[in-house]
A and B are shown apart, each in its own frame.
Chain A
Amino acid sequence: MDSRAQTLTSTGIPTGKVGVWWFLASEITVFGGLIASYIVVRLGSSGWSEAAAHLNFSLGLANTFVLLTSSLTMVLAFAAVEDKDPKRLGTYLGLTVLLGLAFLIIKAFEYTGEIAAGFTPAAGIFWSFYYGMTGLHALHVLAGVITNVILSIAAIGKVLRPNEHRVELAGLYWHFVDIVWIFLFPLLYLT
């Protein structure tokens, strides 16, 4: 039986997909607003590169690799749905969850080192932006991990079958979170 998310809107696009894209549009303005503010405030003042030099570049790069790879495993989970291969679906969803957790653990290590060195969110405008943007992003990663855990449990319990379109919808969100990091990494670590 089709769920409501799979019924077509008048445009011929499933309701669930239009809903997720609509949600992502609101997310673009949230992160876009933060990033635009960061750019103009940074261009209008000085001393940011010195502050940014204290970031742990290696951990930032490691997290870039982890998140890009998790996007690959997520899209391979979608391919497994198309191929009607539940075993592969469970494997790739599980890998995506593990990579999401790895991202959060690395980020936690990074925060710990920075705070121990005295770079708290109150240490200056750069650090306020840094913790604001990466913290909000990490919360989004956490939300994606929880969603993928729920999907993994359903896949293992073999009850995902009527709702497998949810893998595609969760994937749209996960890739969006990846795109946000694609912009945060150069803005914070490479400039």
Chain B
Amino acid sequence: MMIGEQNRPNYFGIWMALLGLVAISIAASIVLPKSLALLLIFAVAIAKALLVALNYMHLKYEKLLLYIIAIVPVVIVIILLFALFPDFVFHR
């Protein structure tokens, strides 16, 4: 796929943003209470993953089919996560 120099994302800027987000999650783990820190850390991890997938993997220039191929297994994993909750987390 050709993206072209004009439409190309700012790759270096994305890298800086990723490093900034790492710093935010480390600061959160030190400063915030644990449950709040966990929420922020995982929100930041999802934001970082989206930055990489959309810009470095060029998903934002792709057709719907590739989004579907990428999202279906994520949904399956989320279903698995919640399906396992009753056995492992609530059954203590």
Contacts and interface: CB of A to CB of B under 8 A. Distances in A.
A161 to B, nearest CB: 15
Contacts of B89: 40, 43-44
B52 A33 contact: no
How many B residues touch the partner, as a band? 35 or more
B66 A182 contact: no
B57 A176 contact: yes
A72 B11 contact: yes
Interface string B10-28: 0110110011001001100
A72 B66 CA distance: 22
- Most-contacted residue by chain B among A29, A65, A71 (CB, 10 A): A71
Interface string A29-57: 10011011101110110000000000000
Interface residues of A, number: 48
Contacts of B77: 28-29, 32-33, 35-36
Contact of A40 (B18, B58, B65, B85): B85
A11 B84 contact: no
Contacts, number: 125
Q: Chain A: interface secondary structure?
A: helix
23 contacts: A13-B65, A17-B1, A26-B73, A29-B73, A41-B88, A61-B22, A61-B26, A68-B15, A68-B19, A72-B15, A79-B8, A82-B3, A82-B5, A83-B5, A168-B58, A171-B56, A172-B57, A175-B57, A178-B56, A183-B49, A186-B41, A186-B44, A191-B41
Interface of A: 11-14, 17-18, 21-22, 24-26, 28-29, 32-33, 35-37, 39-41, 43-44, 61, 64-65, 68-69, 71-72, 74-76, 79, 82-83, 168, 171-172, 175-176, 178-179, 182-183, 186, 190-191
Given A79-B11, A179-B49, 8 more contacts: A11-B65, A12-B63, A13-B66, A36-B81, A44-B92, A72-B11, A75-B56, A182-B45
